[in-house]
Chains A and B, each alone.
Chain A
Amino acid sequence: SQEAVSSELKKPLVPASLNLSEYFKQFLFPQNECELHDFRLSFSQLKWDNWIVAPQRYNPRYCKGDCPRAVGHRYGSPVHTMVQNIIHEKLDSSVPRPSCVPAKYSPLSVLTIESDGSITYKEYEDMIATKCTCR
């Protein structure tokens, strides 16, 4: 009826306290978006400094945060990621949303003392996360 429509129209579209850009942001990007985080550890925390001589500090980094619903090219995600999102939202919520995980790594050089007293310099693959993706 006309009264209902007119009363609806009178309602403020956006709460006055919230400005427009903030309002739209909650739809476009999740608040804590999937991204790379630092975690600097020293091998003495693991009590390994008696046999790992170098490096002194090691930052393996990690991925944390929510994946936006329409990921597209933003994270280098395959189309499957959006399909999984749709399944979660429309068909079966027991299927998990896509996760924020590392997509690329860089190597790490380690100098260690072996149990027989020999000394080893070795370069290990995939020891530091350098890029995140949603999958």
Chain B
Amino acid sequence: SQASREAAQIAASAELESEAEPWSLLQPLNGGNRSGLLAALFKVLYDGQGGAPRLQPDSRALGYMKRLYKAYATKEGIPKSNRGHLYNTVRLFTPCAQHKQAPGDQVAGTLPSVDLLFNLDCVTAVEHLLKSVLLYTFNNSVSFPSAVKCVCNLVIKEPESKTLPGTPYSFTFNSQFEFRKKYKWIEMDVTPLLQPLVASNKKSIHMSVNLTCGKDQLQHPSAQDSPLNTTLLLFPSLLLYLNDTSAQAYHRWHSLHYKRRPSQGPDQKRDLSACPEGEGAAEGIRSSRHRR
């Protein structure tokens, strides 16, 4: 009967809860960021331990992200308001597996083609991709007095990616890099390729990258005899610019448009929306009061 089925469901969910760690019950229900700051805060409240041991990141990648942090936030950590974009999360992944596929051709300025595997376990379902970039770093800052033209050929190696609707299986694009001053890295926008994969919550992305840069435009004497590939590190990092839609993340557009009155908490707002006639009634009273 209905009652016995409900009783069975209640018993099952109670059993589930008793098995889960108490602190994990405090986790945000909307599948929010489990590996980030919040999970650590809950763990400290629960058992006093801090973050789990971590793999150490590549120093150049860390340097890039520190520079990004300084551009986006003040020294006290307050997000700068002069930013026009909507992403509140930037994730940098270094390839967890990489190897050279074919040797390059120095005369033609072609870098060796490389095979890369990125593990995107940290990306949560509530994080929506806005932009994605392959980040090449130089092993020292070089300066190119004139523009260098590079052609990049990207192929997604996932066999099942053919089944994903609208996924560009391979992706060739020409990028014009303007090297005018000291550079430590170059960025290539690969958003059209990554968008459907991240949207379908893929956790690992396997791709091969082939980069060819116009050698004759390299005016710099040192660049002539040591083409790009001796200064450009072959294995790029993957940057994802995301909009975290969970309640704990800061939504810039939200704070600009909706100033929340201190006396009105989100739940009260939800109560009103829960019974729309309540809202209509409130509206009606207000307008009649105005009329009076």
Contacts and interface: CB of A to CB of B under 8 A. Distances in A.
Contact of B51 (A50, A107, A108): A50
B122 A116 contact: yes
A54 interface: yes
A113 B94 CA distance: 12
Interface residues of B, number: 49
Contacts of B55: 115-117
B65 A111 contact: yes
B147 interface: no
B202 interface: no
Contacts of A47: 50
A120 B76 contact: no
A53 interface: yes
A117 B94 contact: yes
Nearest to A75: B262
Interface stretch (B2-10, B33-41, B283-291): B33-41
A118 B66 contact: no
B35 A48 contact: no
Interface stretch (A6-14, A28-36, A63-71, A123-131): A123-131
B235 interface: no
Contact of B54 (A57, A114, A133): A114
A109 B78 contact: yes
A62 interface: no
A52 B69 CA distance: 12
Interface stretch (B56-64, B191-199, B221-229): B56-64
Nearest to B127: A122
A72 interface: no
B89 A121 contact: yes
B262 A104 contact: yes
B37 A54 contact: no
B164 interface: no
Contacts of B25: none
B42 to A, nearest CB: 13
Contacts of A124: 37-38, 248-250
B54 A113 contact: yes
Given A78-B263, A108-B77, A117 B57 contact: yes
A48 B88 CA distance: 22
A129 B247 CA distance: 17
Interface of B: 33, 35-38, 40, 44, 50-57, 61-62, 65-66, 68-69, 72-73, 75-79, 88-94, 96, 119, 121-122, 244, 247-252, 255, 262-263
The 4 closest A-B pairs by CB, nearest first: A117-B55, A55-B77, A109-B73, A107-B250
14 contacts: A48-B50, A77-B263, A109-B69, A109-B77, A111-B66, A113-B57, A118-B92, A119-B61, A119-B65, A120-B36, A120-B90, A120-B122, A122-B89, A124-B250
Given A120-B91, A125-B247, 19 more contacts: A48-B40, A48-B50, A48-B51, A54-B66, A106-B78, A108-B77, A111-B66, A112-B36, A113-B57, A114-B122, A115-B35, A117-B54, A118-B119, A118-B122, A119-B91, A122-B244, A125-B251, A131-B262, A133-B262
